[in-house]
Amino acid sequence: MDKSAIKSILENVKDSKLSVDDALLKLRHLPYEDLGFVKIDHHRNLRRGFAEVIYCAGKTPEQVQEIMGALCNLDNNILGTRAEPEVFKAVQKLIPDAEYHQLARTITVQRYKTEPIGNILVACAGTSDLPVAEEAAITAEVMGAKVDRLYDAGVAGIHRLLMNQEKLDAAKVIVVVAGMEGALASVIGGLVDKPVIAVPTSVGYGASFNGLAALLAMLNSCSAGVTVVNIDNGFGAGYAATIINRLGER
């Protein structure tokens, strides 16, 4: 229900075609559909520009299934993050065209496809950072962005990174995923003049304190243009990159 719909309701009120009370009822009850345990906000698609995203961790397979089912009626794209295989199994029963991306632990339902736009580069430091990097990449792809990948480019072997300067040059936005000391964000940030979204990961041990070391390093980056999201938040980085990338295409 978009702005024009609301305006139309109000004009009907003005024109006495609709009583104030009925109008109120419409306005109150239309915007979301109550499933009891979660309110699905069909509005959001219009207001935010993307489909509802389901954060599956902490929800039962049945709850995810029910939510995704309700959303599917609307003929839009859906993204489920942090989804274990058994969650996907439950979803697949209801939505056979749902896809599962094992490494990224994400479910996608893609009811319409558009030509990928722009160019988001997702770079990551080590093999263990791949799940977070893939979550970012798939999020951006399902939301319509063209995504390029540059993996295993840690700062301990800086030459590998420098050899890929053209990938850095081609990107509109760069997502940098790194655990341990998280230095990759600063190094890449120093090589480009474009937005860099840094994702610290919980990869590491001991004084990495589950990603705190990388998080602090990225927040203190001496390279301007670097902004940061939560530890392991591949989705958040992919989403932010998408809306920035889209800006460049308008």
Q: Which residue has the tokens 């339902």?
A: 109
Interatomic CA distance for residues 168 and 155, integer angstroms:
15
Chosen residue from 42, 88, 108, 126 binding its own copies by CB under 8 A: 126
Interatomic CA distance for residues 115 and 189, integer angstroms:
28
Q: Is the dihedral of CA 54, 37, 6, 26 positive or negative?
A: positive
Q: Pick between residue 90 and residue 197 the one whose CB is nearest to its own copies.
A: 197
Q: Pick between residue 110 and residue 167 the one whose CB is nearest to its own copies.
A: 167
- 107 Cβ neighbours under 8 A, 6+ residues apart: 54, 56, 68, 78, 79, 80, 83, 87, 88, 91, 98, 99, 100, 101
The gap from C-alpha 248 to its chain's centroid, in whole angstroms, comes to: 18
Q: Pick between residue 33 and residue 96 the one whose CB is nearest to its own copies.
A: 33
Interatomic CA distance for residues 129 and 195, integer angstroms:
21
The gap from C-alpha 224 to its chain's centroid, in whole angstroms, comes to: 23
Q: How far is the CB of 36 from its own copies (least distance, A)?
A: 9
Q: Pick between residue 98 and residue 187 the one whose CB is nearest to its own copies.
A: 187
Q: Which amino acid is at 150?
A: L
Count of residues of this chain found to bind its own copies when the rule CB under 8 A is applied: 94
Chosen residue from 12, 76, 92, 223 binding its own copies by CB under 8 A: 223
Q: Pick between residue 100 and residue 151 the one whose CB is nearest to its own copies.
A: 151
Please give the residues from 179 up to 208 whose contact with its own copies meets the rule CB under 8 A: 180-183, 186-187, 189-191, 193-195, 197, 200, 202-208
- Nearest CA-CA partner of 237 in 107, 114, 147, 108: 147
Binding segment for its own copies among 70-78, 93-101, 107-115, 155-163 (CB under 8 A)?
A: 155-163
- 50 Cβ neighbours under 8 A, 6+ residues apart: 77, 143, 239, 242
Q: Pick between residue 98 and residue 185 the one whose CB is nearest to its own copies.
A: 185
Q: How far is the CB of 203 from its own copies (least distance, A)?
A: 7
Going by their DSSP bridges, the two strands 32-34 and 39-41 should be labelled as antiparallel
- 123 sits near its own copies (criterion: CB under 8 A): no
Please give the residues from 97 up to 116 whose contact with its own copies meets the rule CB under 8 A: none
Please give the residues from 29 up to 88 whose contact with its own copies meets the rule CB under 8 A: 31-32, 37-39, 41, 43-44, 47-50, 53, 57-59, 63
Q: How far is the CB of 142 from its own copies (least distance, A)?
A: 13
Q: How far is the CB of 96 from its own copies (least distance, A)?
A: 25
Binding segment for its own copies among 70-78, 91-99, 108-116, 221-229 (CB under 8 A)?
A: 221-229
Q: Are 65 and 54 in contact (CB under 8 A)?
A: no
